[in-house]
Structure formats: structure tokens, C-alpha cells
Amino acid sequence: MTEVTMTVNGRKVRRDVPDETLLSEFLRESLRLTGTHVGCDTTQCGACVVHVNGAAVKSCSALAVALDGAEVTTIEGLAPNGELHPMQKAFNDNHGLQCGFCTPGMIMTSVDMVEKAKAAGKTLTEAEIRHGLEGNICRCTGYHNIVKAVAQAAQEM
């Protein structure tokens, strides 16, 4: 067991966890933040994406103990004042989700993609959005409406 301290969604948390605990398990089991999902065991699906120190990370591929002191934002922390983030709103506006299982990871990846594009002063094309979503699998939507949602949010963010 190792003690880990993180700031998760703006709150400081401290837990003792086994060294092999993945960040995804830490969030889901230790903190009971079950919005972060686990859809695979080979870091392929992106259902588990959260932000670590401001960048999108597949939480199934990071060890909790390696992230001592990190700032983590999960889907539950994206709308801190209860007002939806433009990306969340865009997914609802454009029917960018069906079963909702891939959605937290999709939204966290998309927010990071748009923020990076903004920082670089770029407008995302459809092809760039599709490329940016390559690490996130959705089995329900066929991506059409997810791509539309990201494009809308990119205008509004």
C-alpha cells in the first residue's frame, strides 16, 4: 500500500492503495467516481479518458501511485457549477450519444482536442476531428453526430 494524494475535480483526496492500482480503478473504486468507464484491457477504447494536469490521459494506462500530486479532472468535474460545459451541451444538442458508455471519454478527449487547437490558433476540420477521435471507440453512434457535436463545441468554446 502506498499513500497517494491528488486533487480530483478541485478536491484534495488522500488514499492508501496497492501499487498496481490503475488511475481508472482509483477513480472508480477508491473515490467512487464511476463516470469514468473501462471498456477494454489494451488501452484501445478511450472510455476511461480523464484530464491529468490539463491533458487527456487514458486512465487505464496510468498507475495511481505514479500520479502523486497530480491534478485530475473527470467527467464529473467538467461542469463544476452545474452549468453544462459547451462540449456536454453539444453532445446533447447533436445526439452525440446513445448508450452513453463511451460518452465520458469522448467528451474528455474532445475537450482536450479543441483546447489544443484553440491554443494553436487552429480551426478543426472534419477530418482532423475524426483523426482526433481515433483513440475513442463508440459502437452506437457511427460517429456522425459525435463529429458534429465536437464541431459545434469548437465554435462555442
Partner 1 sequence: MNVGIGARVKRKEDKRFITGKGKYTDDVRVENQAYAAFVRSPHAHAKVKGIDKSAALAMEGVIDVLDGGQLTGDGIGNIICGWAVTSKDGSPMNMGPWSALATDRVRYVGDAVAVVIAESQALARIAAEAVEVEYEVLPAVASAAKALAAGAPQVHDNAPGNLIFDWEIGDAAATDAALAGAAHVTEISLTNNRLSPNPMEPRSAVAIYDAAEEHYTLYTTSQNPHVARLVLSAFYNVAPEHKLRVIAPDVGGGFGSKIYIYPEEITCLWASMKTGHSVKWTGDRAEAFMTDAHGRDHVSTARIGFDANNRITGFKVDTIANFGAYMSLFSSAVPTYLYATLLSGQYDIANIHANVRAVYTNTVPVDAYRGAGRPEACYLVERIMETAARELGVDPAELRRINFIRAFPHQTPVIMNYDIGDFEANLDQAMAAADVAGFAARKAEAAGRGKLRGLGYSSYIEACGIAPSAAVGSLGAGVGLWESAEVRVNPVGTIEILTGSHSHGQGHETTFAQIVAERFGLPIENVAIVHGDTDKVQFGMGTYGSRSGAVGMSAIVKAMDKVEAKVKKIAAHVLEASEDDIVIEGGEVKVAGTDKAMGWHEVGLAAYTAHNLPPEMEPGLKESAFYDPANFTFPAGTYICEVEVDPETGTVEIVQFTASDDFGTIINPMIVEGQVHGGIAQGVGQALLEQVVYDDDAQLITGSFMDYAMPRADDLPSYNVNHASTICPNNPLGMKGCGEAGAIGSPPAVINAITDAIGNNNLAMPATPLAVWKAIQAAG
What grid cell was written down for 104?
465520458
Backbone angle region of 116, left / alpha / beta, with phi > 0 → left and psi within -120 to 50 → alpha:
alpha
Q: Does 127 bind partner 1 (CB under 8 A)?
A: yes
Q: Which entry of partner 1, ligand FES, none binds 124, CB below 5 to 8 A by partner kind?
A: none
Q: Does 102 bind partner 1 (CB under 8 A)?
A: yes
Q: Which entry of partner 1, ligand FES, none binds 18, CB below 5 to 8 A by partner kind?
A: partner 1
Binders in 114-143 for ligand FES, by CB under 6 A: 138-141
Cα dihedral sign, 89-138-107-153 = negative
Length of the chain: 157
Kindly determine how many residues on this chain lie close enough to bind ligand FES according to the rule CB under 6 A: 22
Q: Does 92 bind ligand FES (CB under 6 A)?
A: no
Binders in 4-63 for ligand FES, by CB under 6 A: 38-40, 43-48, 58, 60
CA–CA dist 113, 92 (Å, integer): 19
CA–CA dist 71, 157 (Å, integer): 22
- The answer to whether residues 64 and 25 touch, using CB atoms and an 8 Å cutoff, is yes
Grid cell 478511450 is found at 46
Query: Using CB under 8 A as the criterion, which residues of the chain lie in contact with partner 1 when the complex forms?
Result: 18, 20, 28, 32-42, 44-45, 47, 74-76, 78-79, 84, 88, 91-93, 95, 97-104, 107, 126-127, 129-131, 133-134, 136-147
